[in-house]
Structure 1
Amino acid sequence: MAAQTSSQAFSPRGALIEQHWQELASRRRTYSFIGLAILLIAVSGSLWFANETNAGKFFDRLPYFFDFFHDLIPRDGMEVVRALFDLPSPYDDGSFKYNYPEGRLYITESLYVPEYFYKMLETLNIALLSTLIGLGLGFLLCFLAARNLMPNPWIRGTVRRLMEILRAFPEVVLAGFFLAILSLGPIPAVIAVSIHTVGALGKMFFEVVENADMKAEEGLRAAGGNWVERVWFGIVPQVMPNFMSYFLLRLEINVRASTIIGAVGGGGIGELLRLSIGQGHEAKTLAIVLLLFCTIVAVDQFSAWLRRRLVGNQAFQLAQ
């Protein structure tokens, strides 16, 4: 009798819940249909714009899309190896102006670093230096932007707006601006990537700081520690593994950004890639693409391994 009474009492509530879930499902289907329709309209409009108003005439040139890849096929398999290591080529007619040995880095009279490896090291140097600058400045700014460490809204808001301005423009736009002022070379590329990295890392850093456990900071406050001591001893040990993880992630991104900036005059391997494509030298283009692919994969794998070591070791220490 009691079970029957309970069933009767809960059946209206169950019906209301079922009705509510049906309404939510119907609403989700409606929103999904509207979103899909908007997406189709946007894609159709973009394709129309590309075809009708773009000078390239998207659909007119689409049948020739694979011609570029066909032109990249070298005359023999060893031509890519010869291009990669600056070895003499039987097909070189002297028309490729930045050919060996001008771009080599000679260690001794006979021992040298091939041009593409040297330029790849230059690109990695730009990325690493820029990321280190971004790490240092972002580290200093993030604690001033964190709500749990900086109660003054004027200071916190000013620092956050500054970081938003620094990351508002893509690296290639900043590089074009500094290249116009400082001329061609890696220095404008370092400045451009560093500026964007400060804003990006600063944002990620202060979000990590705001999620930190404040018990250690409160204990240091009760013991009479000043603001710098509370941050250095109470917050930094907690957030440093995540800081290093974001630093390594940003390093991977900056390697790609440095390559793109090189194509617009910022030095490094990107400049040679642009020139090789413009000259129509298929073997050198494939050699640079292969070197870029291997380098980026190596950087990604090393960064992933180091992140696991850093975060894993910290987690193990906390578990102890």
Structure 2
Amino acid sequence: MSLQSKADTASTVAIVDAWEKLAARRRFYTILGLAILFAAFVASVRFADDSNAGHFFDRLPHLFDFLSWLIPKDWNDVWRALLGIASPNDQGGEEHNFTVGRVPLWGGFYIPNYIELMIVTINIALISTLVGFVVAVPLSFFAARNLAPSNPLRILVKRLMEFLRAFPEIVIAGLFSAVLSIGPAAAIIAITLHTIGAVGKLFFEVIENIDMKPDEGMTAVGGNWLERVRFGSLPQVLPNFTSYALLRLEINVRASTIIGAVGGGGIGEALKLSISRGFGAKTMALVLLLFVTIVVVDQVSAALRRRLVGEAAFVPVH
């Protein structure tokens, strides 16, 4: 074997040996880190269990007792509750009184109480998404690095968006509920503010990735900043903006339900009361209605996104 071959073999052996040592060191650190995390998890769980008056682990066998309380005695009451139909099991109590809250239309036609509450929830989400979209679009152009009129303005707008999305909707709703009283107004304001901050970030990131050649063309012919945005940038980003807005609508339907549980109006408040009182049929009806609504909103939004963005965007490229 020549000297060169021996040198190459020795170099290869040294590289393999170094790689094996590095891999062993990484495995050791990974195992050590997981062990530390597991020890911290066990310690925190034990501390929480000792601090809990009910002792979590002692109550663990009763975890599913709560669900058993919500099983309806008569499953037909689920449909009666959903459609606002009187129940033969009604003994004058609130549990089986399904006709209360119906909204009369004409003659014997009416909107069931839970359907009306679901409409309120959807309206909260729609208004919040629409207003948030209208405000976030211009703000996103001020925040985009490649189109912002000035750097101080860009930084200010970005900090504003970060502030608006820093707090969960339920926290903002709680603040405005104390000022505006309980009702949909607080929920609309809370979801709108969070929507502006959330979609505004997505919007200006889309803007920062656009093709700048149309903007350069508009600048070359003497277009001002507004004209550059209107004719050079907005047509490129509007389909993605609309797609993100539809995605946000799905999120806002869920958010408005949660906020309703703290006094924001809509179906969330009814669901909270039904669960807390152990009304099985009403709870199942509300859960079913909420599930169907979310599925319908998701499917409609997905269909609209496909029409706007184009079917080719959803076809995998091989």
1:137 aligns to 2:146 (yes or no): no
Bigger CA drift: 197-206 or 233-242?
233-242
Contact 2:90–2:96 (8 Å) recurs in 1 = no
Q: Counterparts of 1:136-285 in structure 2 under 5 Å?
A: 136-150=134-148, 152-285=150-283
1:59 aligns to 2:57 (yes or no): yes
Q: Select 1:96's aligned residue among 94, 97, 121.
A: 94
Q: Select 2:75's aligned residue among 49, 74, 77.
A: 77
In 2: Cα distance, 1:257 partner to 1:36 partner = 35
In 1: Cα distance, 2:240 partner to 2:10 partner = 50
User: What amino acid sits opposite 2:196 in the alignment?
Assistant: V
User: How big is the shift at 1:111?
Assistant: 0.4
Map of 1:296 onto structure 2: 294
Gaps of 5+ in 1: none
In 2: Cα distance, 1:73 partner to 1:235 partner = 55
Contact 1:106–1:113 (8 Å) recurs in 2 = yes
Contact 1:96–1:279 (8 Å) recurs in 2 = no
Relative to structure 1, is the Cα distance of residues 228 and 7 closer, same or farther in structure 2, using a 3 angstrom cutoff? Answer: farther
In 2: Cα distance, 1:220 partner to 1:17 partner = 56
Question: Per-residue CA shift, 1:47-78, capped at 9, x if unaligned?
Answer: 22331223443212211111111122111221
Contact 1:80–1:283 (8 Å) recurs in 2 = yes
In 2: Cα distance, 1:12 partner to 1:249 partner = 58
In 2: Cα distance, 1:271 partner to 1:162 partner = 31
3-state secondary structure, aligned to 2:310: helix
Bigger CA drift: 106-115 or 169-178?
106-115
In 2: Cα distance, 1:6 partner to 1:16 partner = 15
TM-score by length of 2: 0.90
User: What amino acid sits opposite 2:127 in the alignment?
Assistant: L
Gaps of 5+ in 2: none
Amino-acid identity (%): 58
User: How big is the shift at 1:187?
Assistant: 0.6
User: How big is the shift at 1:311?
Assistant: 1.6
Contact 2:125–2:249 (8 Å) recurs in 1 = yes
TM-score by length of 1: 0.89
In 2: Cα distance, 1:95 partner to 1:265 partner = 24
Contact 1:241–1:314 (8 Å) recurs in 2 = no
User: What amino acid sits opposite 2:265 in the alignment?
Assistant: G
Relative to structure 1, is the Cα distance of residues 74 and 98 closer, same or farther in structure 2, using a 3 angstrom cutoff? Answer: closer
1:25 aligns to 2:23 (yes or no): yes
Q: Indicate the RMSD between aligned Cα atoms, in angstroms.
A: 2.5
User: What amino acid sits opposite 1:186 in the alignment?
Assistant: P
In 2: Cα distance, 1:9 partner to 1:223 partner = 66
Relative to structure 1, is the Cα distance of residues 38 and 198 closer, same or farther in structure 2, using a 3 angstrom cutoff? Answer: farther
User: What amino acid sits opposite 2:71 in the alignment?
Assistant: I
Bigger CA drift: 211-220 or 15-24?
15-24
In 2: Cα distance, 1:169 partner to 1:98 partner = 39
In 2: Cα distance, 1:226 partner to 1:34 partner = 59
User: What amino acid sits opposite 2:65 in the alignment?
Assistant: D
User: How big is the shift at 1:287?
Assistant: 0.5
* Number of aligned residues: 314
Map of 1:47 onto structure 2: 45
In 2: Cα distance, 1:285 partner to 1:57 partner = 28
In 1: Cα distance, 2:22 partner to 2:297 partner = 46
User: How big is the shift at 1:308?
Assistant: 2.2
Question: Per-residue CA shift, 1:294-316, capped at 9, x if unaligned?
Answer: 11111112222222222226869
Relative to structure 1, is the Cα distance of residues 71 and 149 closer, same or farther in structure 2, using a 3 angstrom cutoff? Answer: same
